[in-house]
Amino acid sequence: MNTQPSLEDAPRVLAIDWSGAKSGARRKIWLAEARNGELVRLENGRNRGEVAEHLLDELERDPRLLVGLDFAFSLPAWFLRDHELTTATELWQLADREAEAWLEHCEPPFWGRPGRTKPELPSHFRRTDAAVRPVGGIRPKSPFQIGGAGAVGTGSLRGMPILQRLSDAGYRVWPFDRAEPPAVVEIYPRLLTDAVVKSSPKARANYIDARFPELSLRHRSLAASSEDALDAAVSALVLSREAAAVTALDAATDPVELLEGRIWCPDSRYAAGSVEVDRFEAEEEIGPFPGLLAALQFAAERHRDQRRKGREASPYINHPIAVARLLAEVGAVSDPVLLQAAILHDTVEDTETTLDELEARFGQEVRRVVEEVTDDKTLPKLERKQLQIEHAPQRSNRAKQLKVADKSSNLLDIAHRPPKNWTPERKQEYFDWAERVVEGCRGVNPALEARFDEVLSEARESVADS
Protein backbone atom coordinates (compact mmCIF):
# COMPACT_ATOMS: atom_id res chain seq x y z
CA MET A 1 0.00 0.00 0.00
CA ASN A 2 1.39 3.42 -0.97
CA THR A 3 1.35 5.76 2.04
CA GLN A 4 2.92 8.70 0.25
CA PRO A 5 0.54 11.63 -0.21
CA SER A 6 -0.46 12.54 -3.75
CA LEU A 7 1.30 15.41 -5.46
CA GLU A 8 -1.67 17.65 -4.74
CA ASP A 9 -1.81 16.67 -1.05
CA ALA A 10 1.92 16.67 -0.30
CA PRO A 11 2.96 19.59 1.91
CA ARG A 12 5.55 22.05 0.76
CA VAL A 13 8.61 21.63 2.96
CA LEU A 14 10.79 24.58 3.95
CA ALA A 15 13.99 23.88 5.86
CA ILE A 16 15.98 26.77 7.30
CA ASP A 17 19.58 26.48 8.38
CA TRP A 18 19.50 29.12 11.09
CA SER A 19 22.06 31.52 12.49
CA GLY A 20 22.11 33.60 15.64
CA ALA A 21 24.98 35.76 14.40
CA LYS A 22 24.59 39.47 15.09
CA SER A 23 26.03 40.30 11.68
CA GLY A 24 26.24 38.36 8.44
CA ALA A 25 22.98 36.49 8.96
CA ARG A 26 21.87 37.06 5.37
CA ARG A 27 24.91 35.14 4.20
CA LYS A 28 24.65 32.35 6.79
CA ILE A 29 20.91 31.64 6.83
CA TRP A 30 19.84 29.35 3.99
CA LEU A 31 16.32 28.33 3.04
CA ALA A 32 15.52 25.22 1.01
CA GLU A 33 12.12 24.18 -0.34
CA ALA A 34 11.22 20.64 -1.37
CA ARG A 35 8.04 18.95 -2.54
CA ASN A 36 7.46 15.25 -3.05
CA GLY A 37 11.12 14.63 -2.33
CA GLU A 38 12.39 17.06 -4.98
CA LEU A 39 14.36 20.22 -4.28
CA VAL A 40 12.69 23.23 -5.89
CA ARG A 41 14.40 26.15 -4.17
CA LEU A 42 17.69 26.85 -2.36
CA GLU A 43 18.64 30.41 -1.42
CA ASN A 44 20.04 32.78 1.19
CA GLY A 45 19.89 36.55 1.57
CA ARG A 46 17.41 37.00 4.44
CA ASN A 47 18.08 37.93 8.06
CA ARG A 48 16.11 36.39 10.94
CA GLY A 49 13.28 38.90 10.84
CA GLU A 50 12.97 38.58 7.09
CA VAL A 51 12.83 34.79 7.36
CA ALA A 52 9.95 35.14 9.81
CA GLU A 53 8.11 37.52 7.47
CA HIS A 54 8.68 35.14 4.57
CA LEU A 55 7.23 32.21 6.54
CA LEU A 56 4.18 34.29 7.40
CA ASP A 57 3.76 35.29 3.74
CA GLU A 58 4.08 31.66 2.67
CA LEU A 59 1.42 30.68 5.19
CA GLU A 60 -1.04 33.09 3.62
CA ARG A 61 -0.22 31.84 0.15
CA ASP A 62 -0.52 28.11 0.92
CA PRO A 63 -1.10 26.69 4.42
CA ARG A 64 0.03 23.18 3.40
CA LEU A 65 3.44 23.87 4.89
CA LEU A 66 5.92 21.83 6.91
CA VAL A 67 8.82 23.92 8.21
CA GLY A 68 12.04 22.66 9.77
CA LEU A 69 14.03 25.13 11.88
CA ASP A 70 17.59 24.47 13.01
CA PHE A 71 17.64 25.64 16.62
CA ALA A 72 16.54 24.40 20.05
CA PHE A 73 12.86 25.14 20.62
CA SER A 74 13.27 25.20 24.39
CA LEU A 75 15.71 24.85 27.29
CA PRO A 76 16.10 22.07 29.89
CA ALA A 77 12.97 21.64 32.00
CA TRP A 78 14.64 22.72 35.23
CA PHE A 79 15.24 26.21 33.79
CA LEU A 80 11.55 26.63 33.00
CA ARG A 81 10.52 25.42 36.43
CA ASP A 82 13.02 27.73 38.15
CA HIS A 83 11.47 30.64 36.26
CA GLU A 84 7.94 29.44 37.08
CA LEU A 85 7.17 28.83 33.41
CA THR A 86 4.58 26.16 32.77
CA THR A 87 4.82 25.96 28.97
CA ALA A 88 7.38 26.43 26.23
CA THR A 89 5.25 29.29 24.92
CA GLU A 90 5.90 31.18 28.15
CA LEU A 91 9.64 30.63 27.62
CA TRP A 92 9.40 32.07 24.09
CA GLN A 93 7.67 35.14 25.51
CA LEU A 94 10.35 35.49 28.19
CA ALA A 95 13.08 35.13 25.55
CA ASP A 96 11.43 37.89 23.53
CA ARG A 97 11.91 40.18 26.51
CA GLU A 98 15.19 38.93 27.99
CA ALA A 99 17.24 37.04 25.37
CA GLU A 100 19.41 39.98 24.33
CA ALA A 101 20.28 40.72 27.95
CA TRP A 102 21.13 37.04 28.53
CA LEU A 103 23.41 37.15 25.50
CA GLU A 104 25.03 40.43 26.48
CA HIS A 105 25.85 39.49 30.08
CA CYS A 106 26.42 35.73 29.63
CA GLU A 107 25.65 35.00 33.27
CA PRO A 108 25.05 31.38 34.39
CA PRO A 109 23.43 29.21 33.19
CA PHE A 110 24.75 30.68 29.93
CA TRP A 111 28.43 30.33 29.10
CA GLY A 112 31.05 30.22 26.34
CA ARG A 113 31.96 33.89 25.94
CA PRO A 114 35.52 35.01 26.84
CA GLY A 115 36.02 34.49 30.57
CA ARG A 116 32.70 32.63 30.98
CA THR A 117 33.54 29.02 31.63
CA LYS A 118 31.08 26.14 31.77
CA PRO A 119 29.18 26.36 35.08
CA GLU A 120 27.83 23.60 37.29
CA LEU A 121 24.13 23.18 36.45
CA PRO A 122 21.36 20.67 37.22
CA SER A 123 21.63 19.76 33.53
CA HIS A 124 23.20 21.32 30.45
CA PHE A 125 21.03 19.33 28.06
CA ARG A 126 17.43 18.54 27.24
CA ARG A 127 16.32 14.94 27.22
CA THR A 128 15.99 15.01 23.42
CA ASP A 129 19.64 16.11 23.09
CA ALA A 130 20.67 12.99 24.99
CA ALA A 131 18.38 10.70 23.03
CA VAL A 132 19.75 11.20 19.51
CA ARG A 133 22.61 9.08 18.29
CA PRO A 134 26.03 10.73 17.82
CA VAL A 135 27.01 11.15 14.17
CA GLY A 136 30.71 10.88 13.48
CA GLY A 137 31.31 11.45 17.20
CA ILE A 138 29.33 14.70 17.10
CA ARG A 139 26.38 15.28 19.42
CA PRO A 140 24.03 18.20 20.06
CA LYS A 141 25.55 21.07 22.02
CA SER A 142 24.04 22.56 25.15
CA PRO A 143 21.48 25.31 24.43
CA PHE A 144 23.11 27.23 27.29
CA GLN A 145 26.38 27.53 25.32
CA ILE A 146 26.33 30.93 23.62
CA GLY A 147 29.98 31.18 22.61
CA GLY A 148 32.74 28.95 21.31
CA ALA A 149 32.84 26.37 18.54
CA GLY A 150 29.51 24.84 17.64
CA ALA A 151 27.51 27.01 20.06
CA VAL A 152 23.76 26.74 19.47
CA GLY A 153 22.44 28.86 22.32
CA THR A 154 22.62 32.22 20.57
CA GLY A 155 20.61 31.05 17.58
CA SER A 156 18.10 29.34 19.83
CA LEU A 157 17.52 32.35 22.07
CA ARG A 158 17.08 34.60 19.04
CA GLY A 159 14.85 32.02 17.38
CA MET A 160 12.38 31.46 20.21
CA PRO A 161 10.56 34.80 19.70
CA ILE A 162 10.14 33.80 16.04
CA LEU A 163 8.36 30.63 17.19
CA GLN A 164 5.92 32.78 19.12
CA ARG A 165 5.14 34.84 16.01
CA LEU A 166 4.63 31.72 13.91
CA SER A 167 2.41 30.15 16.53
CA ASP A 168 0.30 33.30 16.85
CA ALA A 169 -0.15 33.32 13.06
CA GLY A 170 -1.50 29.76 12.97
CA TYR A 171 1.52 27.48 12.64
CA ARG A 172 1.45 24.39 14.86
CA VAL A 173 4.76 23.91 16.66
CA TRP A 174 5.51 20.25 17.28
CA PRO A 175 5.66 18.54 19.76
CA PHE A 176 3.74 21.17 21.71
CA ASP A 177 1.03 20.84 19.04
CA ARG A 178 0.30 18.09 16.55
CA ALA A 179 2.31 18.29 13.34
CA GLU A 180 -0.61 18.67 10.94
CA PRO A 181 0.25 21.42 8.41
CA PRO A 182 0.91 24.22 8.73
CA ALA A 183 3.50 22.90 11.17
CA VAL A 184 7.00 23.67 12.43
CA VAL A 185 9.44 21.07 13.71
CA GLU A 186 12.90 21.34 15.28
CA ILE A 187 15.67 19.78 13.19
CA TYR A 188 19.31 18.95 13.87
CA PRO A 189 20.84 18.76 10.38
CA ARG A 190 23.78 16.58 11.42
CA LEU A 191 21.29 13.76 12.01
CA LEU A 192 19.96 14.14 8.48
CA THR A 193 23.24 14.60 6.59
CA ASP A 194 25.11 11.78 8.38
CA ALA A 195 28.90 11.87 8.80
CA VAL A 196 29.93 13.95 5.79
CA VAL A 197 32.97 16.20 6.33
CA LYS A 198 31.06 19.44 5.88
CA SER A 199 34.12 21.65 6.12
CA SER A 200 35.52 20.19 2.89
CA PRO A 201 34.06 21.59 -0.38
CA LYS A 202 35.13 18.45 -2.21
CA ALA A 203 33.51 16.18 0.39
CA ARG A 204 30.28 18.20 0.21
CA ALA A 205 30.19 17.93 -3.57
CA ASN A 206 30.93 14.20 -3.55
CA TYR A 207 28.26 13.62 -0.91
CA ILE A 208 25.59 15.51 -2.89
CA ASP A 209 26.50 13.68 -6.10
CA ALA A 210 26.33 10.29 -4.39
CA ARG A 211 23.20 10.75 -2.27
CA PHE A 212 21.14 13.08 -4.44
CA PRO A 213 22.25 12.48 -8.04
CA GLU A 214 18.84 13.60 -9.30
CA LEU A 215 19.43 17.24 -8.28
CA SER A 216 19.85 19.77 -11.04
CA LEU A 217 23.38 20.99 -11.72
CA ARG A 218 22.46 24.40 -10.26
CA HIS A 219 21.09 22.92 -7.04
CA ARG A 220 24.03 20.54 -6.69
CA SER A 221 26.42 23.46 -7.02
CA LEU A 222 24.49 25.59 -4.53
CA ALA A 223 24.14 22.78 -1.98
CA ALA A 224 27.88 22.12 -2.08
CA SER A 225 28.78 25.82 -1.87
CA SER A 226 28.76 25.98 1.95
CA GLU A 227 28.01 23.96 5.06
CA ASP A 228 24.88 26.03 5.66
CA ALA A 229 23.54 25.48 2.15
CA LEU A 230 24.19 21.75 2.43
CA ASP A 231 22.34 21.52 5.75
CA ALA A 232 19.30 23.37 4.41
CA ALA A 233 19.09 21.36 1.18
CA VAL A 234 19.50 17.94 2.78
CA SER A 235 17.12 18.77 5.64
CA ALA A 236 14.41 19.83 3.19
CA LEU A 237 14.83 16.71 1.07
CA VAL A 238 14.75 14.32 4.04
CA LEU A 239 11.78 16.10 5.62
CA SER A 240 9.91 16.00 2.32
CA ARG A 241 10.52 12.31 1.85
CA GLU A 242 9.34 11.66 5.42
CA ALA A 243 6.44 14.15 5.21
CA ALA A 244 3.66 11.58 5.55
CA ALA A 245 5.09 10.30 8.83
CA VAL A 246 5.94 13.75 10.14
CA THR A 247 2.56 15.33 9.52
CA ALA A 248 0.85 12.42 11.27
CA LEU A 249 2.67 13.07 14.56
CA ASP A 250 0.50 13.88 17.57
CA ALA A 251 1.26 16.45 20.20
CA ALA A 252 3.36 15.25 23.12
CA THR A 253 1.77 14.02 26.29
CA ASP A 254 4.96 13.54 28.28
CA PRO A 255 5.34 16.47 30.72
CA VAL A 256 9.09 16.86 30.14
CA GLU A 257 8.69 16.84 26.37
CA LEU A 258 5.95 19.43 26.64
CA LEU A 259 8.44 21.72 28.34
CA GLU A 260 11.65 20.88 26.47
CA GLY A 261 10.45 19.99 22.99
CA ARG A 262 11.86 17.23 20.81
CA ILE A 263 14.24 17.12 17.86
CA TRP A 264 12.54 15.60 14.83
CA CYS A 265 14.49 12.96 12.94
CA PRO A 266 13.77 9.49 11.56
CA ASP A 267 13.35 7.02 14.42
CA SER A 268 16.55 5.18 13.49
CA ARG A 269 18.53 8.25 14.55
CA TYR A 270 17.35 7.93 18.13
CA ALA A 271 19.30 5.72 20.49
CA ALA A 272 17.60 2.47 21.47
CA GLY A 273 15.81 2.66 24.80
CA SER A 274 15.78 5.64 27.11
CA VAL A 275 18.92 7.67 27.69
CA GLU A 276 19.29 9.45 30.99
CA VAL A 277 20.52 13.03 30.67
CA ASP A 278 23.02 12.69 33.51
CA ARG A 279 24.63 9.67 31.82
CA PHE A 280 24.71 11.55 28.53
CA GLU A 281 26.46 14.49 30.21
CA ALA A 282 29.01 12.15 31.73
CA GLU A 283 29.66 10.63 28.32
CA GLU A 284 29.90 14.14 26.87
CA GLU A 285 32.69 14.88 29.33
CA ILE A 286 34.71 11.69 28.73
CA GLY A 287 33.71 10.99 25.13
CA PRO A 288 36.94 12.17 23.44
CA PHE A 289 39.25 10.59 26.05
CA PRO A 290 40.02 7.22 24.41
CA GLY A 291 40.98 8.84 21.12
CA LEU A 292 42.85 11.65 22.89
CA LEU A 293 44.87 9.21 24.98
CA ALA A 294 45.82 7.23 21.89
CA ALA A 295 46.82 10.45 20.10
CA LEU A 296 48.77 11.63 23.14
CA GLN A 297 50.70 8.38 23.39
CA PHE A 298 51.45 8.42 19.67
CA ALA A 299 52.60 12.06 19.69
CA ALA A 300 54.71 11.54 22.82
CA GLU A 301 56.51 8.64 21.15
CA ARG A 302 57.13 10.57 17.92
CA HIS A 303 58.33 13.73 19.69
CA ARG A 304 60.25 11.88 22.42
CA ASP A 305 63.70 13.14 21.39
CA GLN A 306 62.60 16.69 20.58
CA ARG A 307 62.74 19.82 22.72
CA ARG A 308 61.21 23.25 22.37
CA LYS A 309 63.52 26.07 21.27
CA GLY A 310 63.11 28.06 24.49
CA ARG A 311 65.85 28.54 27.06
CA GLU A 312 64.33 25.81 29.22
CA ALA A 313 64.36 23.31 26.33
CA SER A 314 61.12 21.78 27.62
CA PRO A 315 59.86 18.48 26.12
CA TYR A 316 58.25 19.17 22.76
CA ILE A 317 55.07 17.26 23.68
CA ASN A 318 54.22 20.10 26.07
CA HIS A 319 53.35 22.27 23.06
CA PRO A 320 50.64 20.10 21.42
CA ILE A 321 49.16 19.47 24.86
CA ALA A 322 49.01 23.23 25.45
CA VAL A 323 47.33 23.74 22.06
CA ALA A 324 44.68 21.10 22.84
CA ARG A 325 44.04 22.69 26.24
CA LEU A 326 43.52 26.11 24.69
CA LEU A 327 40.97 24.63 22.29
CA ALA A 328 39.11 22.80 25.06
CA GLU A 329 39.32 25.26 27.93
CA VAL A 330 39.23 28.61 26.13
CA GLY A 331 37.49 27.69 22.89
CA ALA A 332 34.99 25.27 24.51
CA VAL A 333 35.91 22.70 21.85
CA SER A 334 34.69 19.15 22.53
CA ASP A 335 35.07 17.88 18.96
CA PRO A 336 37.27 14.75 19.32
CA VAL A 337 38.56 15.07 15.76
CA LEU A 338 39.88 18.59 16.36
CA LEU A 339 41.35 17.74 19.78
CA GLN A 340 43.16 14.68 18.41
CA ALA A 341 44.43 16.74 15.47
CA ALA A 342 45.75 19.33 17.94
CA ILE A 343 47.79 16.69 19.75
CA LEU A 344 49.09 15.32 16.44
CA HIS A 345 49.44 18.56 14.48
CA ASP A 346 53.27 18.63 14.34
CA THR A 347 53.93 14.91 13.89
CA VAL A 348 54.00 14.99 10.09
CA GLU A 349 55.91 18.26 9.79
CA ASP A 350 58.50 17.56 12.49
CA THR A 351 58.86 13.76 12.68
CA GLU A 352 58.96 10.82 10.28
CA THR A 353 55.18 10.30 10.56
CA THR A 354 53.20 10.20 7.32
CA LEU A 355 49.66 11.34 6.63
CA ASP A 356 48.72 7.82 5.55
CA GLU A 357 49.91 6.54 8.92
CA LEU A 358 47.77 9.08 10.75
CA GLU A 359 44.74 8.13 8.67
CA ALA A 360 45.24 4.42 9.39
CA ARG A 361 45.46 5.05 13.13
CA PHE A 362 43.09 7.97 13.71
CA GLY A 363 40.83 8.21 10.67
CA GLN A 364 40.38 10.36 7.60
CA GLU A 365 38.97 13.42 9.38
CA VAL A 366 41.97 13.72 11.73
CA ARG A 367 44.31 13.26 8.77
CA ARG A 368 42.60 16.08 6.86
CA VAL A 369 42.94 18.58 9.70
CA VAL A 370 46.60 17.74 10.30
CA GLU A 371 47.26 17.97 6.57
CA GLU A 372 45.71 21.44 6.44
CA VAL A 373 48.09 22.79 9.10
CA THR A 374 51.25 21.02 7.88
CA ASP A 375 53.85 23.06 5.97
CA ASP A 376 55.70 21.71 2.96
CA LYS A 377 59.26 21.54 4.32
CA THR A 378 60.69 21.29 0.82
CA LEU A 379 59.89 24.99 0.34
CA PRO A 380 62.05 27.85 1.65
CA LYS A 381 61.03 29.09 5.09
CA LEU A 382 59.92 32.55 3.95
CA GLU A 383 57.73 31.00 1.25
CA ARG A 384 56.16 28.62 3.77
CA LYS A 385 55.33 31.52 6.07
CA GLN A 386 53.77 33.52 3.25
CA LEU A 387 51.67 30.53 2.20
CA GLN A 388 50.31 30.21 5.74
CA ILE A 389 48.99 33.78 5.45
CA GLU A 390 47.55 33.23 1.99
CA HIS A 391 45.94 29.85 2.72
CA ALA A 392 44.44 30.68 6.14
CA PRO A 393 41.08 32.05 4.86
CA GLN A 394 40.51 28.90 2.78
CA ARG A 395 41.13 26.44 5.61
CA SER A 396 38.32 24.48 7.27
CA ASN A 397 36.82 25.75 10.52
CA ARG A 398 38.65 23.02 12.41
CA ALA A 399 41.99 23.98 10.90
CA LYS A 400 41.38 27.68 11.56
CA GLN A 401 40.74 27.03 15.25
CA LEU A 402 43.83 24.85 15.46
CA LYS A 403 45.91 27.59 13.84
CA VAL A 404 44.66 30.20 16.31
CA ALA A 405 45.42 27.95 19.30
CA ASP A 406 48.84 27.00 17.87
CA LYS A 407 49.84 30.61 17.34
CA SER A 408 48.57 31.56 20.82
CA SER A 409 50.69 28.83 22.39
CA ASN A 410 53.76 29.93 20.43
CA LEU A 411 53.27 33.57 21.45
CA LEU A 412 53.11 32.58 25.10
CA ASP A 413 56.34 30.63 24.79
CA ILE A 414 58.13 33.47 22.98
CA ALA A 415 56.94 35.99 25.58
CA HIS A 416 57.89 33.91 28.64
CA ARG A 417 60.31 31.24 27.40
CA PRO A 418 61.92 32.75 24.28
CA PRO A 419 64.41 30.85 22.13
CA LYS A 420 68.05 31.62 22.77
CA ASN A 421 69.50 34.51 20.82
CA TRP A 422 66.12 35.86 19.64
CA THR A 423 66.38 39.64 19.50
CA PRO A 424 63.40 41.89 20.28
CA GLU A 425 63.19 42.65 16.55
CA ARG A 426 62.90 38.96 15.65
CA LYS A 427 60.18 38.48 18.28
CA GLN A 428 58.21 41.41 16.88
CA GLU A 429 58.54 39.97 13.37
CA TYR A 430 57.05 36.71 14.61
CA PHE A 431 54.22 38.54 16.39
CA ASP A 432 53.38 40.50 13.21
CA TRP A 433 53.41 37.33 11.10
CA ALA A 434 51.26 35.36 13.57
CA GLU A 435 48.75 38.20 13.63
CA ARG A 436 48.47 38.10 9.83
CA VAL A 437 47.92 34.33 9.84
CA VAL A 438 45.24 34.54 12.51
CA GLU A 439 43.49 37.38 10.67
CA GLY A 440 42.57 34.83 8.00
CA CYS A 441 41.21 32.43 10.62
CA ARG A 442 38.74 34.74 12.35
CA GLY A 443 34.98 34.36 12.53
CA VAL A 444 34.90 30.75 13.75
CA ASN A 445 35.62 30.77 17.50
CA PRO A 446 35.31 34.24 19.09
CA ALA A 447 36.53 33.10 22.53
CA LEU A 448 39.68 31.56 21.09
CA GLU A 449 40.32 34.60 18.91
CA ALA A 450 39.87 36.93 21.89
CA ARG A 451 42.41 34.86 23.82
CA PHE A 452 44.88 35.23 20.93
CA ASP A 453 44.42 39.00 21.02
CA GLU A 454 45.12 39.01 24.77
CA VAL A 455 48.23 36.87 24.34
CA LEU A 456 49.48 39.02 21.45
CA SER A 457 49.12 42.17 23.52
CA GLU A 458 50.87 40.49 26.46
CA ALA A 459 53.69 39.30 24.19
CA ARG A 460 54.22 42.75 22.66
CA GLU A 461 54.34 44.30 26.14
CA SER A 462 56.90 41.76 27.29
CA VAL A 463 59.20 42.77 24.45
CA ALA A 464 58.65 46.47 25.05
CA ASP A 465 59.53 46.02 28.72
CA SER A 466 62.64 43.95 28.04
Catalytic residues: 349-350
Say which DSSP state 145 is in. Answer: B
Rg (CA), the chain: 24
Catalogue the long-range contacts made by 430-437 (C-beta closer than 8 Å, 24 or more residues apart): 431/456, 431/459, 431/460, 431/463, 433/385, 433/389, 434/407, 434/410, 436/389, 437/388, 437/389, 437/392, 437/403, 437/407
Return the closest-CA partner of residue 133 out of 328, 280, 340: 280
Pairing of strands 172-173, 65-69: unpaired
If you write DSSP's letter for every residue of 394-433 in order, what string do you get?
GS-HHHHHHHHHHHHHHHHHHHHSPBTT--HHHHHHHHHH
As a whole number of angstroms, the longest Cα–Cα distance in the chain is 82
CA–centroid distance for 111 within its chain: 15
C-alpha to C-alpha distances, 121 to 78, 112, 160, 202, nearest whole angstrom = 10, 14, 22, 40
Catalogue the long-range contacts made by 176-179 (C-beta closer than 8 Å, 24 or more residues apart): 176/73, 176/87, 176/88, 176/89, 176/251, 176/252, 176/258, 176/261, 177/251, 178/249, 178/250, 178/251, 179/66, 179/246, 179/247, 179/248, 179/249, 179/250
